[in-house]
Structure 1
Amino acid sequence: LAYANVQLMPDPTIPSAETGTRHRTAERVAKQTGALVISISQQRSTISVYIGQTRYQLDAVPEVLAKTNQALATLETYRQRLEQVLTRLTALEFQNAVVLDDVLVVLQRAEMTTRMAAEIQRDCIELGAEGRLIRMQLTELIGDVPAERAAVVLDYHVDGEGAKAQLALEALHALPYRQLLEFERLAALLGYPRDVNPLDHSVSPRGFRVLSHIPRLPDQIVKRVVGDMDGLESILRASQRDLEAISGVGAVRAREIREGLRRLQEHNLVDRYLQL
């Protein structure tokens, strides 16, 4: 604009709640064109962003940094609690002693952790280059939480892997916070009746989550193993020959699966001991 030596002249009949000339023009241009418009006020030390009917005023960098660091501390607490319930769930899966309550606790914690990470990610966008270190910490903290959440749904959804499981994941993400605290609502997302008692209802995992922790085991092989075997307990009891009989597995992968499951059980025992 400075190079062209012109001014923006939007339609003056477009309604605007802004009082300053610069901000009023920016709002009208955004509404008229649908483009992203940035208005900077040197006098008030503010930056406002307009797009369509939406207006957003950027906060000062020190304020956003303070808020984001506090959110990171909260996220770290959420992640620690999630690790505890995941370790417990893994132990119960190897013992075939899972009840629905154990699954719902993991789903609830994983979703809360994911939502907190999404809020921090939005703050990082606002911080720009100032948020580089925070983005690194966020990546380290969130890790494979989304994948773990998805695997839990695949393991325990009543209808198994498929469109309904994907819809359950989307519905979980869309749940208001208050409903996320209601286990009856979470159970319904997995296809269980609302009147089921999560503390008494035994469930068995299909094996998606545990098998996904075995290094270098492709997702396609995980799906074939789960599809051919009758749940995680059946996979744990399977012999070398049983696993080799599954299409695409073969002798080498069958041995890797058996060894991987054995190591996962040992690591889980160590993790539970360290949490005591």
Structure 2
Amino acid sequence: MVAPGTVLYEGLENILRARTGALIVIGDTDKVMKVVDGGYHINADLNPASLYELAKMDGAIILSSDAKKILLANTHLTPDSIIPTRETGSRHRTAERVAIQTGELVIAISQRRNLITLFKGNERHVLRDVGTILAKANQALQTLEKYKSVLDQALVNLSALEFEDLVTLTEVCTVVQRTAMVSRIAKEIEQYVYELGNEGRLVNMQLEELMFDTEAEGLLVLKDYLLNYDNLEKVQEELSSWTYEELLDLLAVCKIIGYSPQSLDVAVTPRGYRILKKIPKLPLPVIENLVRRFEDLQNIVGASIEELDEVEGIGEVRAKSIKDGLRRLREQVLLDRHI
């Protein structure tokens, strides 16, 4: 609604450049109208020029909830004065109180400081210059690319060790840790994309390319190694709430996936979800049946075509396809590890 490229943003930019200041409320709910006193009824479509001209008057401007119409101009806002506010200027103090009292989005443009500040409920956000946001987004993308490269190598190493049956908690926790870090950086970039609006298309394209299949693969790692499979969603939520400092503690990561070892050198065996998902045209229900029947990846890799054929949803043709697929995957990951 207030991202670059929208009609409202263009109007706000015009006001900012003219250094006239403004107070704009988006929404005409009963709560909003109770704090509105006087003003002129406009009821016209929103366009940048009209918003700029109306902002020259001292009072507040009221827009429709979809920010497509200018409803009132030069109004006096009378929020409850006992509502606490952190702001100092009268315009911003009124904006924050109206936002808290009504729950609607209120925009305050500072004439002196040349800033656009958004208030909604108890939240406050200052709109930054597009160039500044783009610079931060590009810097974050470079960081994401480096972290993603390290994660990809850790996944290749994990795959090779899974085929060799040499996985320890160190490799598992490292992948879980790196996946959480990459996801955290991606979330930050998403915030920049929202702020950039139409200007963020290229940033979003790069983000989608870098993050393709990353979260899905991270989920499969958890499915492979979580001691208690029922805790999957809880573990994901907790990891997403951790700070970067907490994520750096591999023992803490180890504990959250269900293990309590004195050392991270303890050997573990994957169930096989992630490797099996890499086999083309192998549906998830069939993968579930394979894991249920053989319990772990080593048993699946060691199973004969006849044993695979006995699993529900697998015929002789698919059994051969699974054996060939696992063989090719093993050769590929062992090769990739040494590149």
Q: Report the TM-score, using the length of structure 1 for normalisation.
A: 0.91
Q: Would the aligned equivalents of 1:47 and 1:57 in 2 still touch at CA under 8 Å?
A: yes
> Equivalent of 2:255, from 182, 188, 192?
188
CA offset at residue 86 of structure 1? 0.6
Aligned CA distance change for structure 1 residues 17 and 221 (closer, same or farther; 3 Å): same
1:198 aligns with 2:273: no
Across the two proteins, how many residue pairs are aligned to each other? 270
Q: Would the aligned equivalents of 1:10 and 1:28 in 2 still touch at CA under 8 Å?
A: no
Query: Separation in 1 of the partners of 2:283 and 2:211?
Result: 22
SS in structure 2 at match of 1:7: strand
1:86-123 CA-to-partner distances (Å, cap 9, x unmatched) read: 11100000001111111111111111111011111111
1:111-163 CA-to-partner distances (Å, cap 9, x unmatched) read: 1111011111111111111111000000111111111111111111123x3x2
Corresponding residue of 1:117: 186
Q: Would the aligned equivalents of 2:226 and 2:232 in 1 still touch at CA under 8 Å?
A: yes
Query: Separation in 2 of the partners of 1:234 and 1:173?
Result: 33
1:11 aligns with 2:79: yes
> Equivalent of 2:227, from 158, 173, 183?
158
Query: Separation in 1 of the partners of 2:123 and 2:232?
Result: 34
Corresponding residue of 2:235: 168
Query: Separation in 2 of the partners of 1:169 and 1:110?
Result: 11
Query: Separation in 2 of the partners of 1:179 and 1:134?
Result: 28
Aligned CA distance change for structure 1 residues 257 and 25 (closer, same or farther; 3 Å): same
* Letter matched to residue 128 of structure 2: D
Identity value in percent? 43
> Equivalent of 1:217, from 277, 282, 285?
282
Q: Would the aligned equivalents of 1:31 and 1:53 in 2 still touch at CA under 8 Å?
A: yes
CA offset at residue 43 of structure 1? 5.3
Corresponding residue of 1:139: 208
* Letter matched to residue 217 of structure 1: L
1:207-234 CA-to-partner distances (Å, cap 9, x unmatched) read: 0111111122222211111111131001
Query: Separation in 2 of the partners of 1:99 and 1:19?
Result: 57
Where is the strand percentage greater, Structure 1 or Structure 2?
2
Aligned CA distance change for structure 1 residues 182 and 5 (closer, same or farther; 3 Å): closer
> Equivalent of 1:79, from 128, 148, 152?
148
Query: Separation in 2 of the partners of 1:3 and 1:171?
Result: 45
Query: Separation in 1 of the partners of 2:290 and 2:101?
Result: 56
CA offset at residue 21 of structure 1? 4.3
Q: Which runs of 5+ in 1 are unaligned?
A: none
The structure that has the greater radius of gyration is: 2
Q: Would the aligned equivalents of 2:109 and 2:117 in 1 still touch at CA under 8 Å?
A: yes
Aligned CA distance change for structure 1 residues 37 and 210 (closer, same or farther; 3 Å): same
Corresponding residue of 1:33: 102
Q: Would the aligned equivalents of 1:221 and 1:249 in 2 still touch at CA under 8 Å?
A: yes
Query: Separation in 2 of the partners of 1:81 and 1:198?
Result: 20
CA offset at residue 166 of structure 1? 2.7
> Equivalent of 2:329, from 254, 264, 267?
264
Aligned CA distance change for structure 1 residues 101 and 3 (closer, same or farther; 3 Å): closer
Corresponding residue of 1:246: 311
Query: Separation in 1 of the partners of 2:78 and 2:323?
Result: 69
